[in-house]
Chain A
Amino acid sequence: NAGVTQTPKFRILKIGQSMTLQCAQDMNHNYMYWYRQDPGMGLKLIYYSVGAGITDKGEVPNGYNVSRSTTEDFPLRLELAAPSQTSVYFCASTGVSDYNEQFFGPGTRLTVL
């Protein structure tokens, strides 16, 4: 099993550009999450999904959108990149609920200039 995979690993965007961060898992997990990690701060939840076709906002959703058309994939879309979105983004998944072990992807380091 590849576990949770994320692409790209690194990306530099200009202000106003758009991009999609890809996340996929091959563990047949229902729950998937997107987090951002800023220097010196804890991870913060952006969006989550409890299954295909179901998504909901987390603590910091502004400026992002998600979709979940399949169990495996959970892409995160930035429509108009802003410097405040410079961060490391982690995707994670878990089998049943957030009371079970979360499996994390390797992260995407995004810089918006």
Chain B
Amino acid sequence: KNEVEQSPQNLTAQEGEFITINCSYSVGISALHWLQQHPGGGIVSLFMLSSGKKKHGRLIATINIQEKHSSLHITASHPRDSAVYICAVPFGNNDMRFGAGTRLTVKP
């Protein structure tokens, strides 16, 4: 069983739609990372959060530590948001466990 589960695996949306990507984890953590992997393969960090909510532009990340669940929302989605979104949690001593990713395609 993976320590980090994401849903959905694939998501197709029309431009302008509100997007939600979910992440559930089985280990106790104090922080969670959301990453974005571009179609070209590069990976960038979007958020690191340990409680509540963080907002960056049209991206919003929430986390519920008690329920071991985090969501990434994209408002007013745009084709340039098309990417793979990955959540990751620290695991043990300096290890990190990653979800398999959610592939988002936003159509114009």
Q: Which chain A residues have a beta carbon within 8 Å of chain B's beta carbons? A: 31, 33, 35, 40-45, 48, 50, 56, 58-59, 88, 90, 92, 97-104, 106-107, 109
Contact = CB atoms under 8 A, between A and B. Distances in A.
A48 B94 contact: yes
A99 B43 CA distance: 17
Contact of A99 (B31, B41, B97): B31
B86 A42 contact: yes
> Would you call the interface of chain B mostly helix, strand, loop, or mixed?
strand
Interface in B41-66: 41-45, 48
A98 B90 CA distance: 7
Interface residues of B, number: 23
A56 B94 contact: yes
Interface in B77-108: 86, 88, 90, 94-101
B41 A102 contact: no
Contacts of A92: 43
Given A43-B86, A107-B41, A97 B98 contact: no
B44 A104 contact: yes
